[in-house]
Amino acid sequence: MSTEALTSSEYIKHHLQNLTYGKLPGSDHWQLAHTAQEAKAMGFWAFNLDTLGVSLVLGVLFLFMFRLAAKRITADSKGVPTGLQNFVEWIVEFIDTSVRGSFSGKNPLVAPLALTIFVWILLMNLMDLIPVDWIPQLAHLAGLPFFKVVPSTDPNATFGMAISVFFLVVYYSIKMKGVGGFVGELTLQPFGKLGLPANIFLEGVNLIAKPVSLALRLFGNMYAGEMIFILIALMFGGGIGIGLFGGVLQWGWAVFHILIVTLQAFIFMTLTIVYLDMAHQEHH
């Protein structure tokens, strides 16, 4: 628990607040929000530094690792792969198999996209396994008012990725089928010309549901998981008995969470591949 005396509700709220950097209304300089109200008041033009920072670091870590392995494998393709290289190759093969299984078209973007999504989201989700107080406590020592360490519990992050995927889906739909084909798909089915409004409504919902479900599924799962960790962490303040019980619970939930973390990354990746596959296919 935090060093300051907080109520449970304050503790939870503190843990769920992002480190937001923006301009307060009426003020002209950029600053960190020190309360949830301030963060809210900053409006759209504010940045969650923790989300961006952690995801950036993790993404760079991912690319650095894989680039290193790629260099090694290229420099010494006859050598016996070891350690990191084996690991990277294993993941790449896994992604490649998934993409080959679900994506029937030909697009050099899809496989690297799937790899990036899977590893990046997996790394972000894995931040959830770090005990909930460690990083915020460190941040507190560094003078930062908040620090939410799991980027995928910030809807900005999940929607950011989901909307990017959505953009790609629309882009490839139009590229493969033409503007007419894309609009036709939205307006002329499933009821034909006469059912135009119904078609637009159904297909529109269908289209919009893709990024929304993609983002909310990941966000919801990770947010709920994080919330349970926070609730368990509250038990550590309740005496030795409850604290020990909390420790056992935390361990159990963490083990279970490893599954959720991987599964959510995998689902996000698979759905992205499937959506892009649908974008490449004619429906008629």
Catalytic residues: 213, 217, 221
d(CA 87, CA 133): 30
Would you count residue 115 as binding other proteins (CB under 8 A)?
Answer: yes
Cβ closer to other proteins: 156 or 270?
A: 156
Grouping H, G, I as helix, E, B as strand and the rest as coil, residue 46 is: strand
Q: Binding to other proteins by residue 42, rule CB under 8 A?
A: yes
Whether omega for the bond prior to residue 190 falls within 30 degrees of 0, making it cis, is yes
From CA 78, how far away is CA 76, in angstroms rounded?
Answer: 5
* Six-digit token string for 25: 């209304």
Tokens for 184? 């036709």
The span from the CA of 121 to the CA of 269, in Å, is: 9
Q: Which of 3, 7, 26, 45 binds other proteins (CB under 8 A)?
A: 45
> Does 221 participate in binding other proteins (rule CB under 8 A)?
no
Per CB under 8 A, the list member of 30, 56, 201, 251 interacting with other proteins is 56
Residue 82 engages other proteins in binding (rule: CB under 8 A): no
Q: Are 186 and 199 in contact (CB under 8 A)?
A: yes
Kindly list the distances between the CA atom of residue 51 and the CA atoms of 145, 155, 160, in Å, as whole numbers in the listed order: 14, 10, 11
Our finding on whether 69 is near other proteins (CB under 8 A) is: yes
CA atoms of 265 and 157, how far apart (whole Å):
13
CB under 8 Å to 126, separation ≥6 — which residues? Answer: 261
Q: Compute the distance between CA of residue 120 and CA of residue 118 in angstroms, rounded to an integer.
A: 6
Of 105, 112, 238, 252, the residue at the interface with other proteins (CB under 8 A) is 112
Nearer to other proteins, 89 or 203 (CB): 89
Nearer to other proteins, 109 or 205 (CB): 109
**Shortest Cβ distance from residue 21 to other proteins (Å)?**
10
CB of residue 242 vs other proteins: minimum separation in angstroms? 29
Q: How many residues sit close enough to other proteins to count as binding (CB under 8 A)?
A: 52
169 lines the binding site for other proteins (CB under 8 A): no
Kindly list the residues in this chain that would bind other proteins in the complex (CB under 8 A).
16, 18, 20, 22, 39-40, 42-48, 51-52, 55-56, 59, 62-63, 66-67, 69-71, 73-74, 77-78, 88-89, 92-93, 96, 108-109, 111-113, 115-116, 120, 151, 154-157, 159-161, 163-164
